[in-house]
Amino acid sequence: MKVLLLGAPGAGKGTQAQFITQTFNIPQISTGDMLRAAIKAGTPLGLEAKKIMDEGGLVRDDIIIGLVQERITQADCANGFLFDGFPRTLAQAEAMRDAGVNLDAVVEIDVPDAVIVERMSGRRVHLSSGRTYHIHNNPPKVEGKDDETGEDLIQRDDDKPETVQKRLQVYHDQTAILIDFYGKMSGDNAPKYIKVDGTQNVETVKQQVLTALGQ
């Protein structure tokens, strides 16, 4: 099963990703998580990506495409994978199509911009696993601590309100076009297109996504 989660920053892609990967036993491929890991490790990619991410821009297509192409050849991707935050530009989507990556489903999580800004300010993440919480909507069992490891939760550097506005603008300028790219695809290789109202609570979104994916 090859699934793509599409949606604005803060729409809930990371939150829903964990349910899909557990249900279908496929790995999550989050380019955002991969870049944050590179930043934490201090690699040349991390150093280059940090400035761009802190400003809310997009990392270059060739770098991202190379990262993902390498990742999907790994053994754990043999039964499929979940793309989270990738493809994010038309060039990235075309590169996957041209590489023969046929998605089974595209899940669009639809959330208006006004809701996003509030969500980002309350977000807390566990950096090494990517697990995501919200101080009101989805709180951890112990304040400031990850449920599974007990390790500290952090606030992402790009969750400042002005950076969130920039990321939303970049989403509308460069990523929203993929709604049409995938939604209007036809033929044998066209993925099932699923659109979910992401303003509903986490559990309701989860049920609707899993049902639409056949669970």
Q: Is the Cβ–Cβ distance between 72 and 81 less than 8 Å?
A: yes
Of the CA atoms within 13 Å of residue 177, those in its CB half-sphere come to: 13
183 is in an annotated binding site: no
Nearest to 98 by CA among 127, 130, 61, 135: 61
The number of angstroms, rounded, from the C-alpha of 139 to the middle of its chain's C-alpha atoms is 20
Using the rule CB under 6 A, give the single segment among 94-102, 130-138, 145-153, 187-195 that binds ligand AP5.
130-138
Q: How many residues bind ligand AP5 (CB under 6 A)?
A: 36
Out of 2, 50, 88, 131, pick the active-site residue.
88
| Separation CA 182–CA 133 (nearest Å) | 29
Q: Which of residues 176-195 bind Zn ion (CB under 5 A)?
A: none
141 given a catalytic annotation:
no
- Classify strands 123-125 and 132-134 as parallel, antiparallel or unpaired: antiparallel
> What gap in Å lies between CA 212 and CA 152, rounded to an integer?
35
Burial call 73-82: b when 16+ CB within 10 Å, e when fewer: eeeeeeebbb
With contact defined as beta carbons under 8 Å apart, do 81 and 29 qualify? yes
13 is an active site residue? yes
85 labeled part of a ligand binding site = yes
Partner from ligand AP5, Zn ion, none contacting 122, C-beta within 5 to 8 A by type = ligand AP5
> Is 82 annotated as ligand-binding?
no
Per-residue binder mask for ligand AP5 (CB under 6 A), 142-161, x = binder: ----------------x---
Instruction: Compare residues 80 and 199 and give the one whose CB is closer to ligand AP5.
Output: 199
Nearest to 89 by CA among 187, 171, 158: 171
Length of the chain measured in residues? 215
Q: Which is nearer to ligand AP5, 85 or 146 (CB)?
A: 85
Bind-site residues for ATP: 10-15, 123, 132-133, 200
Bind-site residues: 10-15, 31, 36, 57-59, 85-88, 92, 123, 132-133, 156, 167, 200
Give catalytic residue positions.
13, 88, 123, 156, 167
Judged by the rule CB under 6 A, the positions of this chain that interact with ligand AP5 are 7, 9-15, 31-32, 35, 52-53, 56-59, 64, 85-86, 88, 92, 119, 122-123, 132-134, 137-138, 158, 167, 198, 201-202, 205
